[in-house]
């Protein structure tokens, strides 16, 4: 059975990107849904959810679904978020950030297409 062109486009859009960090680890990424983000805010707590720097790093860490093909569960509390950030380290966080920057629209692109 051959997939239709639209089915191939949808599948490609939903496919999770995979990136290698400077340590050679394969990081499988997931696109966070609105519910995922809401749960991350809850896990961070009311104070840390307002800290943009902390939350930005937490979002990058929560976007990792597997490391070297070993599944990584979504963090459910502050300690789990910090443990995942520590596990990824600078190399993992940088690789995730670079990969997501490539697939997510930047603010200029969103502003340019908002009126269309």
pLDDT digit string, tens, across residues 51-103:
999 999 999 999 999 999 999 999 999 999 999 999 999 999 999 999 998 87
The pLDDT of residue 112? 54
Which CB contacts under 8 angstroms, 24+ apart, belong to 89-92? 89/23, 91/21, 91/22, 91/23, 91/25, 92/21, 92/23, 92/25, 92/27, 92/64, 92/67
Residue 62 CA to residue 81 CA, distance in Å, equals 7
Kindly state the average pLDDT of the residues 19-45: 95
The pLDDT of residue 3? 73
The percentage of the chain sitting over the pLDDT mark of 90, rounded to a whole number, equals: 69
Residue 43: pLDDT over 60: yes
| pLDDT band per the 50, 70, 90 thresholds, residue 7 | low
Q: In terms of pLDDT, which residue wins out, 16 or 58?
A: 58
Q: In terms of pLDDT, which residue wins out, 99 or 116?
A: 99
């Amino acid at each position: 059975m051959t997939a239709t062109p639209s089915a191939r486009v949808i599948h490609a859009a939903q496919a999770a990107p995979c990136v290698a960090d400077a340590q050679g680890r394969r990081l499988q990424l997931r696109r966070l849904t609105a519910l995922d983000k809401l749960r991350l805010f809850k896990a961070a707590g009311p104070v840390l959810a307002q800290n943009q720097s902390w939350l930005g790093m937490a979002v990058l860490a929560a976007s990792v679904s597997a490391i070297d093909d070993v599944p990584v569960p979504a963090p459910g509390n502050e300690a789990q978020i910090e443990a995942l950030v520590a596990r990824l380290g600078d190399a993992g966080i940088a690789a995730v950030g670079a990969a997501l920057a490539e697939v997510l629209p930047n603010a200029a692109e969103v502003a340019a297409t908002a009126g269309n």
